[in-house]
A = this chain, B = another copy of it.
């Protein structure tokens, strides 16, 4: 069917419908509350399963980026943290986040209940599902940074605290209607709430845990150090494509409604900008590494995509397409130089999650006022600082307590053998027969 014919035929149909509608006195109420309810719920479910699949994206990205002796454990961490985050978010998180008083700092705990009805606008279950996968995403960000030397079960314990308590508190401040929301802070889909929260928690862990053995002996070399070479670039690539796919749900679903034409138009604009920001991040990182370092670093292109996507997440609706490309491109550049910065600071972020999620998240949140006139730089800065400092400090304290008690780092012997032998007893690749 040609597009032209379609373009012509639709208005005609609409006209007929509108005429009939108006004869029934309904021209202004063309979506009933129940139909709107179904559309809104459907948006949460569809966008929710896209975000859920991001868990697979993180698993593949991280599996590909670690060395081949730590891949099974990364798989265990990713399937485990997703499960833990979901259970904790049901037990505590969802209720804590929404139990916050207006303008408040912390909610009271209200047990889960489902009070869905047509006039609540969407089903509670669909909202829980959508919010839960955001919570799980926050935890996913942490797992890659700390790979190859952290103990498995202490990591799971941290995942439970992050998903059950830390993230829900921060979420309540803004999306539960707490003090940041009251102040006018704006973070549409979570550049700061989700991505920087994950990044700050990862940074605290990386500092306390220290780098992998031998990681920084030959300091400053930008070439891929062979002992730390990524185990599979195609899996990293797959992971990034899956994340990009999931991000349409992440940002699109954060419109929170699909029951009017205006909402449908908004979701469409968000899809477009989300795509363009990712594209900007890819190409910026590709150009910067090609011109700056001689080779087109595919890992930086892939991580640059994440950086671009994180950057647009704070405001994917208001930017023009060109602005979206630029916001994403800066996100991509931040990833490249952020990675170098961490390297020079001897902080070992195995998958580059801190530059992509924390640094690009800060950028994305601070640039919101450039395209959304209802926000101010000062308020955005307060939001960025308060959330990141809060999360970093709390995470640092928790990691410290765990370090002093159960221990968080594998023994030297365990790390040398590889986490797969030590922790799961399953070798990741048995390619040779």
* Bound complex: CA A428 to CA B235 (Å): 9
Nearest residue (CB) in B for A236 is B75
User: Contacting A126 at CB < 8 Å: which of B60, B75, B271, B294?
Assistant: B271
Q: Can you report 10 residue pairs joining A to B where beta carbons are below 8 Å apart?
A: A5-B177, A7-B121, A30-B32, A56-B245, A60-B234, A67-B433, A75-B298, A87-B276, A123-B261, A126-B271
One of A18-26, A209-217, A342-350, A402-410 contacting the partner: A18-26
Interface residues of A in 1-22 (CB under 8 A from B): 1-7, 10-11, 13-18, 20-21
One of A77-85, A197-205, A362-370, A385-393 contacting the partner: A77-85
Residues in B whose Cβ lies below 8 Å from that of A377: none
- The proximity string for A residues 12-51 relative to B, scoring 1 for CB distances below 8 Å and 0 otherwise, is 0111111011011110111111111111111011101110
User: Contacting A268 at CB < 8 Å: which of B5, B16, B129?
Assistant: B129
- B268 near A41: Cβ-Cβ < 8 Å: yes
Q: Say whether A354 faces chain B, with CB atoms less than 8 Å apart.
A: no
Residues in B whose Cβ lies below 8 Å from that of A13: 33, 36, 121
Task: Output the least CB separation between A155 and chain B (Å).
Answer: 11
- A63 near B128: Cβ-Cβ < 8 Å: no
Copies of the polypeptide in the assembly? 3
User: Contacting A52 at CB < 8 Å: which of B124, B230, B245?
Assistant: B245
- B305 near A79: Cβ-Cβ < 8 Å: yes
Residues in B whose Cβ lies below 8 Å from that of A5: 177, 181
Q: If the complex has contacts A1-B255, A177-B2, A238-B59, are A80 and B17 also in contact, measured as CB distance less than 8 A?
A: no
Residues in B whose Cβ lies below 8 Å from that of A90: 272, 276, 321
* Bound complex: CA A386 to CA B102 (Å): 57
Residues in B whose Cβ lies below 8 Å from that of A290: 153
Residues in B whose Cβ lies below 8 Å from that of A6: 121, 256-257
- B83 near A282: Cβ-Cβ < 8 Å: yes
Task: Output the least CB separation between A9 and chain B (Å).
Answer: 8
Residues in B whose Cβ lies below 8 Å from that of A121: 6-7, 10-11, 13-14
- B4 near A38: Cβ-Cβ < 8 Å: no
Residues in B whose Cβ lies below 8 Å from that of A330: none
User: Contacting A4 at CB < 8 Å: which of B181, B227, B430?
Assistant: B181
Q: Say whether A122 faces chain B, with CB atoms less than 8 Å apart.
A: yes
Q: Say whether A394 faces chain B, with CB atoms less than 8 Å apart.
A: no
A33, A223, A242: most-surrounded residue (chain B CB, <10 A) = A33
* Bound complex: CA A120 to CA B321 (Å): 21
Q: If the complex has contacts A38-B31, A56-B238, A174-B2, are A233 and B428 also in contact, measured as CB distance less than 8 A?
A: yes
Q: Say whether A279 faces chain B, with CB atoms less than 8 Å apart.
A: yes
- A10 near B230: Cβ-Cβ < 8 Å: no
- B118 near A181: Cβ-Cβ < 8 Å: no
* Bound complex: CA A20 to CA B31 (Å): 11
- A17 near B3: Cβ-Cβ < 8 Å: no
- B24 near A268: Cβ-Cβ < 8 Å: no
- A429 near B233: Cβ-Cβ < 8 Å: yes
* Bound complex: CA A242 to CA B53 (Å): 8
- B31 near A31: Cβ-Cβ < 8 Å: no
* Bound complex: CA A25 to CA B25 (Å): 11
Q: Which 8 A-B pairs have the closest CB atoms?
A: A4-B177, A10-B121, A125-B268, A56-B241, A83-B279, A30-B32, A295-B425, A229-B430
Residues in B whose Cβ lies below 8 Å from that of A118: 14, 30, 261
- A112 near B255: Cβ-Cβ < 8 Å: no
- A34 near B261: Cβ-Cβ < 8 Å: yes
